[in-house]
Amino acid sequence: MAQVWCQEYKGKLLRKAVQSEEMSAIVSLLDEGVHVDNSDDKQRTALHLASVKGNLNIVELLLKRGANANCKDANQNTPLMLACLSRKVPVITALLKYGANPKLCDSKGHDALTLAQNRLTHLQQCQVACDYLRGELVHIIQMIKEFVHQNETPTANDCRPGELSSDELQIEAMISRLSFEDTTSDDKAGITRQVADEFQELLQRFSTGVSVS
């Protein structure tokens, strides 16, 4: 009983250290043997909290110490879903590298790609300012770029090793168009919304497993 209490107490300290981003305290607690996947009453682990914070060093430390990249909280959210919602692209990359599954669903039946698609749809429907839409769109495109690069996607295997797939080339072109070099204000708005529409179509094809090549 005392050992269980000790694990729970140290697990609480670990999550607190993650939230306050105290790296030395995190290392000490892990070295003392605290279970890296110890969770709170909402089933949130240290990795859930770190993924929201976006501290890449802490996320990588937890993963190297054996944290489950696919653990779910009470709402069935994985660390990857929370990183997507928080738009933490480097964290998303690390989670995918350590085996995070983008096809897992939350309590509403949404996977990571669906969350990104819903976010983009919301922005389009709200008709937000061009600069804000562009910034959010770039974040979402970068996230999907990581999914395409590190996971099996409809056309991920249609290229030679070291080459970009057709999807990656299309995504790179979208990012380039959003750089707005030598572009007037009116053209920026038109380009941004055009890219948003094209990217929405790409996301829809990913979700249905239809090749875009």
pLDDT in tens, 11-27: 999 999 999 999 999 99
How long, in residues, is the chain?
A: 213
What does pTM read for this prediction? 0.77
Q: Which residue has the higher pLDDT, 59 or 190?
A: 59
From residue 11, give the alpha-carbon distance in Å to each of 20, 62, 129, 154, 184: 14, 13, 43, 40, 54
Counting DSSP H helices and E strands in the chain, the numbers are: 10, 0
Query: What CATH code is assigned to 2-97?
Result: 1.25.40.20
For Cα atoms 36, 41, 47, give the angle at the middle one, nearest 5 degrees. 30
Residue with tokens 């797939």: 165
The pLDDT tens digits for 39-53 are 999 999 999 999 999
Q: Highest-confidence range of 95-99, 176-180, 189-193, by mean pLDDT?
A: 95-99
Domain edges within the chain: 2-97, 112-208
Cα–Cα distance for residue pair 200/112, rounded to 1 Å: 14
Distance CA 208, CA 189 (A): 29
* Share above pLDDT 90 across residues of the chain, in percent, rounded to a whole number: 41
**Span 66-107, pLDDT tens digits:** 999 999 999 999 999 999 888 888 999 899 989 999 889 999
Cα separation, 14 vs 16, whole angstroms? 5
CA distances from 75 to 43, 100, 115, 199 (A): 9, 17, 14, 28
Joined tokens for residue 43: 């089933």
